[in-house]
A and B are shown apart, each in its own frame.
Chain A
């Protein structure tokens, strides 16, 4: 059973890291602010979500696992809000400072 959990952790965290890598490449390579934001949200939402999912079996307790989920949800909330605000400034044609 613990072997299965380990396989699950390795697979989920690796897939998550892949999304982080893809998001970082997109951030560096995409031409404009809006598509760069689009690339970043993949890293934050899916990448961190998968890393969190992979770490759940290793959290060592229900409370610690819940904290991991809360951390992911807070990052989701913050990144969604912040990218909305950056996108709004970018669409108006200004640069955020």
Chain B
């Protein structure tokens, strides 16, 4: 056994055991911790498979952002947790749930193992036509040229998710400020970090967005870093989230997907198909779309964490 395959085996065992622990553990917060560790290990696994783009997305969205959302949910559920665990489902129902989950996992594993070797792939066709798009990163080419419709729907779905979170607000708080106002000592460690880190984080986030055309990176990963920086400043109490009825906020939230749709339909006239790009303009248009999606994604991801409106006036 080579060193690489031994490492892969250890990684796979760790992943399976953390996943099992996340399911088995009774405490909600411990399960969330397990989920975050699982996400980070999974991104190492993607690096081991040379899928750097997937690894970056998994670390940023899967482990990072989803982890923060789940920590928030666990904190909210804490008061109700004892009551919730008291009303556990009966043994038959739990065994049924376990059986269904195992059957789904088994079916997926069976399907993957059934694939012919080498598995059917379009990768050679993608890299063959990469020069005609002008991009160096095949993943970005797939996301925005070959499967543009998926990315378009994805960017709309996150905005819908935010609208879903906002609609949890009671009527009299509609249009108010999301989440509780954070107070922190202006001389605290958190406030210091919130002053030192954002300049570095903003550069890293923009760099990851920009470099996505030719190297691993892209708008989602970059936007997550920018959103994290904004959230850090909010959590340190140095700034407040904008109230959700601000016009500039709502315009920026829909601007990215709207521009994507506009360019997509323009393709029907200029390039003969919806979401197609005219010859020679593919890279330019892709970067324009990604640049327009950046503010939308940054605001959406940060405000998803900030939560539903909870107060109408700044303190």
A residues near B (Cβ < 8 Å) are 74, 77-78, 81, 84-85, 88, 97
Q: Which of B51-59, B186-194, B241-249, B260-268 contacts A (4 or more CB under 8 A)?
A: B186-194
Q: How far is the CA of A81 from the CA of B198 in the complex (A)?
A: 14
**A-contacting residues, B71-126, CB 8 Å:** 71, 74-75, 78
Q: Which of B29, B71, B75, B196 contacts A77 (CB 8 A)?
A: B196
Q: Which of A74, A78, A88, A97 contacts B74 (CB 8 A)?
A: A97
The distance from the CB of A85 to the nearest CB of chain B, in whole angstroms, is 6
Q: Which of B74, B75, B78, B190 contacts A85 (CB 8 A)?
A: B190
**Interfacial chain B residues near A74, Cβ < 8 Å:** 200
**Interfacial chain A residues near B78, Cβ < 8 Å:** 97
Known: A97-B74, A97-B75, A97-B78. A77 touches B197 (CB 8 A): yes
- Chain B 251-262 per-residue mask, 1 if CB under 8 angstroms from chain A, else 0: 000000000000
**A-contacting residues, B185-242, CB 8 Å:** 189-190, 192-193, 196-197, 200
The distance from the CB of A40 to the nearest CB of chain B, in whole angstroms, is 15
* Total A-B residue contacts, Cβ distance less than 8 Å: 19
**Interfacial chain B residues near A85, Cβ < 8 Å:** 189-190
> Chain B residue with minimal CB distance to A96?
B29
B residues near A (Cβ < 8 Å) are 29, 71, 74-75, 78, 189-190, 192-193, 196-197, 200
Q: List 9 A-B contacts (CB under 8 A).
A: A77-B197, A78-B193, A78-B197, A81-B190, A85-B189, A85-B190, A97-B29, A97-B74, A97-B78
Contact B189 A81 (CB under 8 A): yes
Most chain B beta carbons < 10 A, residue from A78, A84, A85, A97: A97
Known: A74-B200, A97-B78. 12 other contacts (CB 8 A): A77-B193, A77-B196, A77-B197, A81-B189, A81-B192, A81-B193, A85-B189, A85-B190, A88-B189, A97-B29, A97-B71, A97-B75
Chain B: interface secondary structure?
helix
**Interfacial chain A residues near B71, Cβ < 8 Å:** 97
Q: How far is the CA of A74 from the CA of B71 in the complex (A)?
A: 23
> Chain A residue with minimal CB distance to B197?
A77
Q: How far is the CA of A8 from the CA of B189 in the complex (A)?
A: 37
**Interfacial chain A residues near B200, Cβ < 8 Å:** 74
Q: How far is the CA of A55 from the CA of B196 in the complex (A)?
A: 27
> Chain A residue with minimal CB distance to B194?
A81
**Interfacial chain A residues near B29, Cβ < 8 Å:** 97
> Chain B residue with minimal CB distance to A84?
B189
Q: How far is the CA of A94 from the CA of B101 in the complex (A)?
A: 37
The distance from the CB of B292 to the nearest CB of chain A, in whole angstroms, is 29
> Chain B residue with minimal CB distance to A85?
B189
The distance from the CB of A83 to the nearest CB of chain B, in whole angstroms, is 10
The distance from the CB of B67 to the nearest CB of chain A, in whole angstroms, is 13
**Interfacial chain A residues near B196, Cβ < 8 Å:** 77
The distance from the CB of A20 to the nearest CB of chain B, in whole angstroms, is 15
Across chains A and B, which 9 residue pairs bring their CB atoms closest together, nearest first? A81-B193, A84-B189, A97-B29, A81-B189, A85-B189, A85-B190, A97-B75, A77-B196, A77-B197
Q: How far is the CA of A54 from the CA of B75 in the complex (A)?
A: 41
> Chain A residue with minimal CB distance to B27?
A97
> Chain B residue with minimal CB distance to A73?
B200
**Interfacial chain B residues near A97, Cβ < 8 Å:** 29, 71, 74-75, 78
